[in-house]
Amino acid sequence: MVMGRGGRKEEEMESGSGSGHMDGVSCGEEQDNEQQAQEPPAKKKKRYHRHTAHQIQEMEALFKECPHPDDKQRLKLSQELGLKPRQVKFWFQNRRTQMKAQQDRQDNVVLRAENESLKNDNFRLQAAIRNVVCPNCGGPAILGEMSFDEQHLRIENARLKEELERLSCITSRYGSRAVQPLGPAPSLLPPSLDLHVGMYSRHFNEHPIVSCTNIIPEPPISDGHQPFSGIVIMDHDKPLVLDLAMTAADQLLRKCHTNEPLWVRDGSNAREVLDLEEHSRMFPWPMDLKQLHGDFRTEATRDTALVIMNSITLVDAFLDANKWMELFPSIVSNAKTVQVIAPGISAHGNGSLHLMQAELQFLSPLVPAREVYFFRYCQQNSEEGTWMIVDFPVDGFHDGLDTSFAPYRRRPSGCVIQDMPNGYSRVIWVEHAEVEDKPLHQVFNQFVISGMAFGATRWVSMLQRECERLASLLARNISDLGVIPSPEARKNLMKLSQRMMRTFCASISASGVQSWTALSDSSDDTIRVTTRKNTELGQPNGVILSAVSATWLPFPHQQVFELLTDEQRRSQLEALSNGNSFQEVAHIANGSHPRNCVSLLRINAASNSSQNVELLLQESSTHPSGGSLVVYATIDVDAVQVAMSGEDSSFIPLLPTGFIISPADPPTTGVTDAFPPTSTDVGATTSCGSEGSATGCLLTVAMQVLASAVPSAKLPLSSVTAINNHLCSAVQQISAALGAGPAKAEPVIASL
C-alpha cells in the first residue's frame, strides 16, 4: 500500500510537467496501472518538471498532425525527446483540454455577438410592426390583435369624418358660419401660477386707458391640441421598454464612471467634453432613433455633488412628478407622469419604469423652453449601496405622431446616488441631449451652447440648494427665532416664501402658454413684455404686466449678488427702492452661505403708520457654480401674521420681482462694448461654469405690476412705457453701482 501511494504521487508529479501552456494542470482522463518503484525521499526535491523549448516544439508538431497519438507514437516521441511515455501522454491530455477551453471561449464570444444582433433585429421588427398604418382609416394597425369589429368601426369612423368635413365645406359657402368640427371646446389658457402685488403696482392705475393690443397681443387661445396626448405603452410593448431601460441604465453607469477616451478635457477651458465618436462606438442604441429634421447639436455634461438628503428620499422625489417640480422649481416648469409601466418590486421604487412628460426652462423668455417625453427608470444596486435614475428617449413608440413641436431628444441621462455618512448623498449627474441648433439671442447663445443653461452643473447646484432649504425647513432645534414667535411660524413663513419663488419662476418662463413681445426691432434689445388676465386666488385680480431684461456684466456673480442683498446699498438705488430705506426685521437661514436666507424687510416709507406697515418678503439663494437668485414681493403685516399662524395662506396675493445672476463668459458678439475693461478681466480663465471661474455674469431682471384691477380692461399704454423705463433704469443703476458705468440699456420709447 505504501508503494502504491508513492507511485501515484510520482505519477501526479509527472503529469504536472510544465509545457508553457498548462503548467501544473492535470486532466486525469486515464488511469496508469503500471507498477511504480518507490523512490527515496531525498530524490523528491523538485515536484514539477518543465519541458524544454525543443521538447514543446516537437510535441506541438505531432499534436497538429495527430491530437490523439497511440502508445507506439507516444513511446517513439518520448525516446526521441528523453521523456517518459507517461509525461508525453499527460502533455497531450493537457493540450487537448486547453484547446477545448479556448474553442469554448471563442464560441461564447460569437454567440454573444449573434444574440445582440438578434435583439437589435427584434427591437427593429417590433418597432416596424407598431408603425403599420391601416390603409382605410390611416390609424395604427396592430397585426394579429385587431378584431374584425374594431376594423369595421375604424373604417366607419373615417367615413363619418370625411362626410363631416364635406358638409362643413358646403355650409361654409352658403351660411354665415361654418360647421365646427367635433372636439374639445377651446378655452383660454390658464394664467401662470401664483402672481402677486409688487411694490410698483400703485403707480399704474391713475393713467387713462389707451389700448396697445397691437404691441402686446392678447393671451393666445388654446386649440385643444395636445402633442403626444395619445401615447400609451401597450402590454405587448412593455417587455421591450424594460429591455431598453436595462440598456440605458448600463450606459448611464458607464458614462458616470468612465473618463478618457469617452470624456476628454477641452484644452481651451479645461471643461469635460463628450467624444461623440467614442460614445457611438461604446453605446450603440438598440432602437433606430428617428432622424430629426434640421440641424441638431449635442449637449453633454457631467458633474458631481454632495447633497444633504438620503438616497431613499431623493429617489422618491424623482419618481413623483410634483415632488420633482418642487425639487427643481427653476428648471422643471411643468411635469407629469403619463403612465406607470412598471410599479417596481419594492416600496422604494426599485425597478419602477414611468413614461413622463416635462417642460424644462431657463429663467428668461429669451431662452426657449424644452418640452420632452421620456421614460424614467429606477434601479438599485444593493451590493454597492447605490441608486440610479435614468431617462431615455421614447423614439420608436410614437412614430405615427406629430413631433414637430419637440426639437429636443433626451438621450440616456440621469444620476447615480450613493449614501454617505450623516445623511448625505453623493450624486454623479450626466446630462445628454440632442437639441435643434436654432439661433438664440446673442446674449444667451454661447451660454446655452456651452451647456450652462441646461447642463449637469445647473442640475446638481439646484439640487444642493433645495436639499439645504428642505433641511432648514424641517429643522426643529432653532435657538434664535428673533421676532418669529415659534418654530412652526418659521416653517409657515418659509412655505409662503417657497410659493413666492415658484410663482416667480413660472411667471418669467418661455413656456408656450405665454407669449412674450419685444418692444423694439433691434437685435440688441433684450427687453420682453407680456400680459396675463387673472381672476384666481394667490395673485391680484386684473391685468398683470410682466417685463424681463437680460444684460452681461463684467463682474463675478457673487459680487452682483452681494450688492442686491445688501439693504443699505440697495436703498441707494432709486429704481429698486423708490427712495425708501429697508430694515431687516426677521431672518431665516436656509443654507450654508450666510446670505442663503428668507428675510422680512420693513419698508421705511413716509406713507407707513403704526396701523399700516408695508413689508418686503425676500428670499435670496446663491451657489458657487450654479448662480444666484434674489426674489421679493410686498406684503402687509396682517398677511404675515396669517401665514405664520398656520392659517390658509393661499389667498395672500404675491406678485414677485427678482434677479437671476448666472456666471458666464462674455458673449461672442459686441454686447460687451458698453463696458470698459476692469481689473477682474485680467488673467481670468475662460472656463464657463468651472467652479465659478467665469469672467462675468448674466443679470436677468424681472418685474411685474398690476396694470389694471379689472380683468377685462384694456392694457394702458402708459403702463408699458413706465415699466420699460423702470427696467432700464434698474439695470443702469446696478451697473453704475458696481463700477462699470451705465449699461447699454436705453428705454425703448419710440417703438411704442
Q: Let me know if residue 131 belongs to a domain.
A: no
pLDDT surpasses 90 at 720: no
Cell readout for 567 is 439693504
* This prediction's pTM: 0.70
Q: Is residue 732 part of a domain?
A: yes
Cα–Cα distance, 486 to 142 (Å, whole number): 62
Q: What is the pLDDT of residue 308?
A: 95
**SS3 state of residue 645:** helix
What pLDDT is attached to residue 632? Answer: 96
SS3 435: strand
Note whether 441 and 483 are same-domain residues.
no
Cα–Cα distance for residue pair 439/746, rounded to 1 Å: 24
Share of the chain above pLDDT 90, in %: 38
Mean pLDDT, the chain, whole residue set? 78
Residue 497 and residue 447 in one domain: no
What integer is the mean pLDDT of 439-454? 91
CA atoms within 13 A on the CB side of 398: 21
Q: Does one domain contain both 430 and 481?
A: no
Q: Is residue 454 part of a domain?
A: yes
Last residue of a domain, one of 45, 80, 100: 100
pLDDT in tens, 142-200: 544 455 556 567 777 777 777 777 666 665 544 444 444 433 333 333 333 232 323 33
Q: Is the pLDDT of residue 684 over 90?
A: no
Q: Are 708 and 716 in contact (CB under 8 A)?
A: yes
- Mean pLDDT over 113-119 rounds to 79
CA dihedral of residues 257, 260, 266, 272 (deg, nearest 10)? -10
Q: Identify the pLDDT of residue 714.
A: 82
Strands 296-307 and 272-274: unpaired
Nearest CA to 348 among 374, 379, 325, 375? 379
The predicted model gives 285-302 an average pLDDT of 74
CATH classification at residue 401: 3.30.530.20
pLDDT category of residue 611 using cuts at 50, 70 and 90: low
Domain end among 429, 454, 470: 470
CB 460 within 8 A of CB 304: yes
pLDDT band at 443 (very low <50, low <70, confident <90, very high): very high
Section 121-128 average pLDDT: 72
pLDDT of residue 133: 61
Same domain, 274 and 415: yes
Q: What is the pLDDT at residue 215?
A: 46
Taking alpha carbons only, the member of 296, 250, 248 closest to residue 392 is 248
What is the spatial distance between Cα 32 and Cα 30, in angstroms, rounded to a whole number? Answer: 7
CA angle 98, 100, 105 (to 5 degrees): 95
Q: Which residue has the higher pLDDT, 102 or 113?
A: 102
Alpha helices in 445-566 (DSSP H): 445-449, 456-474, 487-507, 557-564
Is residue 718 pLDDT above 70, yes or no? yes
Least confident segment among 130-139, 260-269, 514-523, 655-664: 130-139
Sequential DSSP letters for 131-146 = T-B-TTT-SB--TTT-
Write down the pLDDT at residue 169: 63
**Does some domain include residue 672?**
yes
Q: Tell me which residue has cell 508503494.
A: 3
Min mean pLDDT across 236-240, 508-512, 592-596, 707-711 is at 508-512
Residue 649: partners with Cβ closer than 8 Å, 6 or more residues away: 492, 495, 496, 499, 639, 642, 643
Regarding whether 498 and 464 lie in a shared domain, the answer is: no
Q: What integer pLDDT is reported at residue 131 of this predicted model?
A: 64
Q: What is the DSSP letter of 550?
A: E
Which of 470, 501, 531 is at the close of a domain?
A: 470
Q: Which amino acid is at 351?
A: G
Q: Is residue 497 domain-shared with residue 560, that is, in the same domain?
A: yes
Query: Which 8-state DSSP code applies to residue 528?
Result: E
Domain shared by 496 and 439, yes or no: no
Q: Is residue 580 part of a domain?
A: yes
> Within this chain, do residues 455 and 492 fall inside the same structural domain, yes or no?
no
CATH of the domain at 64: 1.10.10.60
Q: For residue 196, count CB atoms less than 10 angstroms from its CB and return exposed for 0-12, middle for 13-18, buried for 19 or more.
A: buried
Average pLDDT over residues 517-543: 87
Tell me the mean pLDDT in the region 740-748: 51
**Euclidean distance between CA atoms 53 and 395, whole angstroms:** 60
Higher-pLDDT residue of 646 and 182 is 646
Closest of 410, 504, 511 to residue 700, by C-alpha: 504
In angstroms, what CA-CA distances link 17 with 84, 95, 510? Answer: 11, 12, 78
- Say whether both 426 and 510 belong to one domain: no
Query: Do residue 454 and residue 528 come from a single domain?
Result: no
List, for residues 21-62, the tens digit of each pLDDT value: 444 333 334 444 444 444 444 444 555 678 888 888 888 888
Is 629 a residue whose pLDDT tops 70?
yes
Dist CA 287 CA 124 (whole Å)? 6
Rounded to a whole number of angstroms, the distance between the first and last alpha carbons of the chain is 115
The pLDDT tens digits for 654-675 are 999 999 999 998 886 545 444 4
C-alpha 535/C-alpha 745 separation (Å) is 34
**Selection from 509-513, 538-542, 748-752 with the highest mean pLDDT:** 538-542
Q: Report yes or no on 750 lying in a domain.
A: no
Alpha carbon distance 653, 509 (integer Å): 20
- Torsion angles phi and psi, residue 536, rounded to 5: -100, 165
Give the model's confidence band at 209: pLDDT under 50 very low, under 70 low, under 90 confident, else very high.
Answer: very low
Quickly state the pLDDT bin for 497 (edges 50, 70, 90). Answer: very high
Residues 6+ apart with CB under 8 A from 217: 515, 517
Cα distance between residue 386 and residue 435, in whole Å: 30
**Average confidence (pLDDT) over 573-591:** 86
> What mean pLDDT comes out for the span 675-679?
42
Selected residue with higher pLDDT from 572 and 469: 469
What average pLDDT does this structure show over 222-244? 70
Asked whether the predicted pLDDT for residue 456 surpasses 60, the reply is yes
The SS3 assignment for 173 reads helix
User: Which residues constitute the domain of residue 12?
Assistant: 2-100
Q: What is the pLDDT of residues 321-332, one digit of tens each?
A: 999 999 999 999
Q: Specify the number of domains making up the chain.
A: 4
pLDDT at 310 over 80: yes
pLDDT of residue 296: 84
Contact 727, 547 (CB under 8 A): yes
529, exposed or middle or buried, with CB in 10 Å at 0-12, 13-18, 19+? buried
Q: What is the 3-state secondary structure (H, E, C) of 342-372?
A: ECCCCCCCCCCEEEEEEEECCCCCCCCCEEE
Most confident of 45-59, 494-508, 575-589: 494-508
pLDDT at 20 over 60: no
Closest CA to 432 of 465, 406, 456, 396: 456
- Tell me whether residue 35 is in a domain: yes
**130-141 residue pLDDT tens:** 666 666 665 555
Residue 474 has pLDDT above 60, yes or no: yes
Q: How confident is the model at residue 693 (pLDDT cuts 50, 70, 90)?
A: low
Same domain, 376 and 431: yes
CB distance 89 to 69 below 8 Å: no
Summarize the confidence of residues 387-393 as an average pLDDT.
96
Residue 233 and residue 245: Cα distance in Å, rounded? 14
CB 706 within 8 A of CB 531: no
323 and 462, same structural domain? Answer: yes
| Structural domain includes residue 194 | no
